[in-house]
Amino acid sequence: MAYTAARRAYCPYSRFAVGAACETDIGCFVGCNIESASYGLCCCAERVALFSAVAQGAESITRLAVACTSATQHSLNEKVCCGACRQVMVELMEKGAEIIIYGVGVFTLDELLPIPFRIELDQIG
């Protein structure tokens, strides 16, 4: 599903197509990267898939698959999720959730972001 979603990526600037699919308690949701000429307004495939799942009512996200179909190397460095996506994963996915990076391997959230930023909800007024 992630590989297929990458075909729908809107990436005229980077030409780096990425697709993602997340598995939840209510089904699977896909996303692709979507770029904008105003680069700060772009959104990665991982976040599109995760946000779509939450918007549809998912309460438990257990796995996320990512496919970087434009990557030229089969290395983690070129295919790994960006820091913003990793932080969103920590916020929205179950502890111990799997991240499957197509052509590279399977990782846990702790492996991809061992020390995430956190705010405890009881600390907020």
CB 11 within 8 A of CB 48: no
CB 50 within 8 A of CB 74: no
The answer to whether the Cα torsion of 25, 59, 28, 22 is positive or negative is negative
Q: Which token pair is 66?
A: 């990512």
CB 109 within 8 A of CB 95: yes
CB 88 within 8 A of CB 50: yes
Residue 46 bears catalytic tag? yes
> Amino acid identity of 28?
C
Q: Which of 23, 35, 46, 59 is catalytic?
A: 46
Active site residues: 46
